[in-house]
Copies of this chain bind each other. A is one copy, B any other.
Amino acid sequence: MHTLQQHSLRQGALALLLAAGGLTPALGATPTTDPLPSWNEGAAKRAILDYVARVSDEASPDHVPTPERIAVFDNDGTLWPEYPVPFQAAFAVDRLRARAAAEPTLAADPMVKALLAGDLAPLMAGDRHEGLLHVIGLTHAGLTVEEFQAAVAAWMESAEHPRFKRRYDRLTYQPMQELLAFLRANGFKTWIVSGGGADFMRVWSERVYGIPPEQVIGTTGRTRFELREDGPALVKTLDHLFVDDKAGKPAAIHQFLGRRPLACFGNSDGDLAMLQYTTVGNPRPALGVIVHHTDGDREYAYDAHPKGTGRLIEALAEAPRRGWKVVDMKRDWADVFGGDPGEARKSP
Chain A residues with CB under 8 Å of chain B are 1-2, 4-10, 12-14, 16-17, 19-22, 27, 29-31, 53, 56-60, 67, 145, 186, 198-199, 202, 206, 212-214, 216, 220, 222-225, 227, 230-232, 234, 240, 242, 247, 250-251, 254-259, 273, 276-277, 280-282
Contacts of A199 on B, CB cut-off 8 Å? 258
Pairwise interchain contact B280-A57, C-beta atoms closer than 8 A: no
Contacts of A225 on B, CB cut-off 8 Å? 247, 250-251, 273, 277
Contacts of A10 on B, CB cut-off 8 Å? 17, 20-21
Name the 3 nearest CB pairs between A and B, nearest first: A231-B281, A213-B258, A9-B20
A5 to B21, CA, bound (A): 10
Q: What's the least CB distance linking A243 to chain B, in Å?
A: 11
**12 more A-B contacts (CB under 8 A) besides A13-B20, A223-B251?**
A1-B59, A4-B59, A5-B58, A5-B186, A9-B16, A10-B17, A12-B16, A13-B13, A198-B255, A234-B250, A234-B251, A240-B242
Known: A214-B257, A256-B214, A258-B216. A57 touches B186 (CB 8 A): no
CB < 8 Å neighbour of A2 from B7, B29, B251, B256: B29
Interface centre among A31, A53, A223, A280 (most CB of B within 10 A): A223
Q: What's the least CB distance linking A57 to chain B, in Å?
A: 4
A232 to B1, CA, bound (A): 50
So how many copies of this chain end up in the complex?
2
Contacts of A206 on B, CB cut-off 8 Å? 67
Contacts of A255 on B, CB cut-off 8 Å? 198, 220, 222-223
Pairwise interchain contact B19-A9, C-beta atoms closer than 8 A: yes
Pairwise interchain contact A53-B198, C-beta atoms closer than 8 A: no
A274 to B214, CA, bound (A): 17
Q: What's the least CB distance linking A29 to chain B, in Å?
A: 6
Contacts of A145 on B, CB cut-off 8 Å? 254
A285 to B58, CA, bound (A): 42
Interface centre among A58, A242, A255, A281 (most CB of B within 10 A): A255
Pairwise interchain contact B13-A202, C-beta atoms closer than 8 A: no
Pairwise interchain contact A17-B14, C-beta atoms closer than 8 A: yes
CB < 8 Å neighbour of A231 from B21, B53, B280: B280
A177 to B276, CA, bound (A): 38
Contacts of A58 on B, CB cut-off 8 Å? 4-5, 8
Residue ID in chain B nearest A201 by CB atoms: B258
Pairwise interchain contact B251-A224, C-beta atoms closer than 8 A: yes
A12 to B27, CA, bound (A): 15
Residue ID in chain B nearest A59 by CB atoms: B4
CB < 8 Å neighbour of A256 from B4, B12, B256: B256
Residue ID in chain B nearest A49 by CB atoms: B1
Residue ID in chain B nearest A53 by CB atoms: B1
Pairwise interchain contact A232-B281, C-beta atoms closer than 8 A: yes
